[in-house]
Amino acid sequence: MSARIPPVLRPEHPSARSLGQLASEFGLEHIGSLDGIEITGVTLSTGDLHPGDLYVGVPGANRHGAEFAAQAREGGAVALLTDRRGAEIAKGSGLPVVLVDSPRAALGDVSAWVYRTGEHGPLLFAVTGTNGKTSTSYLLEGILKQLGLVTGLSSTAERHIGDLTVVSRLTTPEASEMHALLARMRESEVRAVAVEVSAQALSRNRVDGLVFDVAGFTNLSHDHLDDYRDMEEYFQAKLPLFQPDRAKRAVVSLDSPYGERVVEASRVPVTTISILPDVDADWKVELLDEQAAYTEFRLAGPEGRTLTTRVPMIGWHMAADAALAIVMMVEAGFELEAIGQALDSDGGIVAYLPGRTERVSGERGPSVFVDFGHSPDAFLNTLGAVRRFTPGKVIMLFGADGDRDTTKRPEMARVAAAGSDILVVTDHHPRFEDPDAIRKTLVDAAREAYPDREIHEVSPPEAAIRKAVSLAGEGDSILWAGPGHQDYRDIRGVRTPYSAREEARDALREAGWAE
């Protein structure tokens, strides 16, 4: 059984646009008559076709999207946008063809034109970095709501349009989906949108056609070296977001060494922020109190401006993310005093972050946290936060993604072993890799670094969480890192329905720990 693929959100009342006008305004060649043809949407996928769509045939690693032009026509597509090779492939489809040099590079601007997303759009916030993108985006959206705005969100976990929520497919959707989402938001009178922007999104043109009002940078650490040759290439992939064609302003955290380099490379006005006491930044964050239910911090900026509030999560990194969100709002034109008043009236920031150090246990028994973290740096920060509120043992349960960056696995295992008292290694998304081999890499690295650590290898994860619960008692904590909010496991290309949160709750109930 495959988990249901989340839908693409589109405007409910799209306005038709002339294909001939599109070709004329963009100066594009075409094959076949465009007279009278009107388009109401754009898609790369025959699985997401709506009648009236412009189907975009993109060359892929194995096949060219233009091969499916006839199928697209049967599904209601009225025209094809592709390159010359794609036009040759699709010449028997019966669709008129609009020619571009690179369909993927043209997708964002074409989608923006079709959906009119550049006209009277909402405030757009972009958050990028290795860790903290999702947290900052949710916190930003939460604070905007506390100020009374109708908001939108596009994150790794979910897409939000006001009160409507759907699960995400990708961290950042394809450009055609992003512009359709923004058009739907306009219909719902959304006034501000927080968008999580991955390095891959920038490399693969997914945010083309957008200019963000404020871009935020959290940090950079070891990740995604399956997509990029090394850390330098990964870093360089982030930099286009901080150029005038992508953003108007930026807020950059200096909490990782790459922050200064982002500032140096940026060609838009930049404001800096840091929680590190020895770093000189425009805005400084000071931890005031850490409790199991919240982290309190003080934000101090230029001209003596200050704000003190709480974020309803554990860990200094959550305070840093919340502070970054607040300064991004200030840079967008919101008054710090107004933000402070709204937060004070609610007792702090009101936000729910699915699968981000999310406690799924009850009042009795061990505390169990499910987290989406899947990098060494994320493990380090989250384990440290859990440790501060655990009087007993810290048990770490994790696995590693198959068919993804293999170079970070040994360091993930070393950090996990260093920060826990007991380590349980299990499976995550094996995809097309051998899960036994993935686990062996993790276990070997952990044992080599910490030969005296208690380490268990347990497969599948259903058994692993029950093993972890059996090792825990009152006052202990279990951190299950990796699955977070996700509702499936990817096993040999099949999305098998699965919830780590529900498995953890079931394991606790079976062990006699009532919620």
DSSP state letters, 327-343: HHHHHTT--HHHHHHHH
List, in sequence order, every residue forming a beta bridge with 477; answer none if it has no partner. 367, 394
Q: What is the pLDDT of residues 343-357, one digit of tens each?
A: 999 999 999 888 888
pLDDT band at 64 (very low <50, low <70, confident <90, very high): very high
pLDDT by residue (tens digit) across 139-172? 999 999 999 999 999 998 889 999 998 887 666 7
Q: CA-CA distances (angstroms) from residue 486 to 201, 372, 428?
A: 20, 8, 11
Asked whether this chain's domains 17-115 and 358-510 adopt the same fold, the reply is: no
pLDDT at residue 2 is higher than 50: no
d(CA 185, CA 176): 14
Distance CA 331, CA 302 (A): 12
Please tell me the predicted confidence (pLDDT) of residue 8: 85
DSSP symbol at 1: -
Query: Per-residue pLDDT for 4 more than 90?
Result: no
Question: Looking at residue 495, what is its pLDDT?
Answer: 87
> pTM of this prediction?
0.88
pLDDT at 3 over 60: no
β-sheet bridge partners, residue 489: 496
Task: Provide mean pLDDT across the span 461-465.
Answer: 97
Structural domain spans, the chain: 17-115, 123-345, 358-510
**pLDDT class for 515, splitting at 50, 70, 90?**
low
Domain 17-115 fold = 3.40.1390
Mean pLDDT of 35-42: 97
Percentage of the chain beyond pLDDT 90 is: 85
Q: At 491, give phi and psi (nearest 5°).
A: -125, 110
Comparing 176 with 225, which gets the higher pLDDT?
176
Burial class of residue 116 (count of CB atoms within 10 Å of its CB; 0-12, 13-18, 19+):
middle
Query: Confidence class of residue 484 from pLDDT cuts 50, 70 and 90?
Result: confident
For domain 123-345, which architecture applies?
3-Layer(aba) Sandwich (3.40)
Q: Cα–Cα distance between 260 and 27 in angstroms, integer?
A: 41
| Chain mean pLDDT for the chain | 94
Task: List the CATH code of the domain at 358-510.
Answer: 3.90.190.20
Residue 126 CA to residue 216 CA, distance in Å, equals: 6
Q: Classify residue 389 by burial, with Cβ atoms within 10 Å: 0-12, 13-18, 19+.
A: middle
pLDDT of residue 354: 84
